[in-house]
Structure 1
């Protein structure tokens, strides 16, 4: 349609004569149809109160084990309860890669959530003799939830280290990473030795990152596009974590403590993406744990990311237009 308009305008400007009435009428009709379609999408977005400039919780998990040894561990029962609560509240999981690149494709009226797992623990994924996830591992529980709750996607991002899910041989490591990739899961970088990058030289930061990058690329034919900082600590210069010889991350994740701005928002900082510890509301985590923040987002729905159901558009109430990143202006659908 746009090409048709340009042809008509060009014909007039170059003095090539007046376009045939039928062509002019068709261009006008096409333009009217496009306008009507956009207006209809805006009406639909308003009906579900779409707000794709809203906040998205990025939940941080570590081991899923029966006897937690630290506050970062979660029992299988607690993890099942977490997923049940997310499904009940209308959340649909997306990967960290989908999040940072703005490829968020979830149903209208639903809310995005990013599930991340650090340290590549065997409790997150271990395969049995038939190549299936063992019961009570994070992946097995997530797939159970997807089968139980309609529309709940069984996806997450696993930030790997040298440990590689406790596998000692390259063959076992490759099998596990390939299983994740082939089943729609995302693989991210968590540095080789889980070291505090704040005190490391530029060369050591690059080595820690590139070692994992090479392993994942070799075993899974996949290049991680995001990095989760060990302990949430940036190197002396943040740019070292984002880009170096052989790697260029589109997102760098911290260790806490708030929901993240949407990637379409001007406030989104790709080098400092906050995460939320998956914990119950108690002790030091009373205000900053996942339970508390999910409660807050439920009580403040106008602050939460809500999809319009169309991955090609970024829908939001008109008064939020000043908060849209200019790079997404072509996808804007204000209502």
Structure 2
């Protein structure tokens, strides 16, 4: 009796096995493929984790804080005999650049800043050098096509040679008074030289008109004329606008985006005229319609607290407040506790340590 049951059970098992084998064919090659895929996935996950740890270790070593503040310095004329508070002597300008170099700052352009393309060595701090009004003291080319001595560009290039890693880049906000040049040919030469040598060119409107209180039509027309002034001379559109006198139009977004006729503009940022360091482009406080700049000035009068010397002193005394790079332009590194301040659109680049 028992033998018969066992035999029937065995037969059923064989039949069932045959049926299952027929429905779900399986061989050693298939098993190897599954094991291989799992091993590869595990290895990839381990490699990704190791890479992230390496990035965190590097960021921690550099004390990276890419959610920190960035000084955007505002210059006008660089002349031997200043006639107003916005002027700087060549010596004053050189001294400030040398201070920046010694304290670990690396110049970036306004375009790089607003787009979040900040690629500087680890442990260094970005600074944005901006020049308003297109003065001949900022750039004049000599007979050989090189920047004339004691112009802002010549001084900047010389400091960069003396301090390796200090990039000779800046942003020039131009108007129709194009470095004192009247003809389109001369103006094209100036803008082409700047562009070819890594400098950034921004819009400062055509006539340097105060936009405060003007209609939308007036505001956009003036910005468009400044935009066209640049794009007709070189085949590169400006990325940012600096407001004349730092005054915003009644609707702030008019400075950021608009059109007149068949010309439109859509900028990554609009710069004011004072008075604090600018927020990192990776934080929630970054406001493209009104980015602060710092006037280049010694600690005198109103500038005792709100101009370049004072703010550079403050950032030096409060290193945890300034932007410090991890050396990788593809990541945004910062201490974990600062995570709530980061803007979501850069979340895929975050390295919190």
Q: Is it true that 1:134 corresponds to 2:148 in the alignment?
A: yes
Post-superposition Cα deviations, 1:243-274, rounded to whole Å, max 9, x if no partner, equal 11110111000000000110001111111100
Q: Is it true that 1:280 corresponds to 2:288 in the alignment?
A: no
Residue 206 of structure 1: aligned partner:
220
Q: Is it true that 1:215 corresponds to 2:229 in the alignment?
A: yes
Runs of 4+ in 1 over 2 A off after TM superposition: 16-20
Q: Is it true that 1:314 corresponds to 2:338 in the alignment?
A: no
Normalising to structure 2: TM-score of the pair?
0.89
Larger mean CA deviation between 217-226 and 256-265 belongs to 217-226
The structure having more radius of gyration, on CA atoms, is 2
Where structure 1 has 5 or more consecutive residues not aligned to the other structure, the ranges are 1-15
Aligned-partner Cα distance in 2 for 1:201–1:267: 28
Q: Is it true that 1:292 corresponds to 2:286 in the alignment?
A: no
Report how many aligned residue pairs link the two structures. 320
Post-superposition Cα deviations, 1:299-331, rounded to whole Å, max 9, x if no partner, equal 001101000000000000000000000000000
CA RMSD of aligned residues (A): 1.1
Residue 301 of structure 1: aligned partner:
319
Q: Is it true that 1:241 corresponds to 2:259 in the alignment?
A: no
Post-superposition Cα deviations, 1:23-81, rounded to whole Å, max 9, x if no partner, equal 21012101101110110110110011000000000000000000001000000000000
The Cα of 1:199 is off from its aligned counterpart by 2.3
Q: Is it true that 1:38 corresponds to 2:52 in the alignment?
A: yes
Residue 6 of structure 1: aligned partner:
none
2:114 aligned to 100, 108, 120, which one? 100
Aligned-partner Cα distance in 1 for 2:66–2:177: 37
Residue 324 of structure 1: aligned partner:
342
Residue 11 of structure 1: aligned partner:
none
The Cα of 1:20 is off from its aligned counterpart by 2.2
3-state secondary structure, aligned to 2:302: helix
3-state secondary structure, aligned to 1:214: helix
Aligned-partner Cα distance in 2 for 1:48–1:254: 31
Where structure 2 has 5 or more consecutive residues not aligned to the other structure, the ranges are 1-25
Residue 13 of structure 2: aligned partner:
none
Question: Which residues of 2 match residues 11-22 of structure 1 at below 5 A?
Answer: 19-22=33-36
Aligned-partner Cα distance in 2 for 1:237–1:136: 40
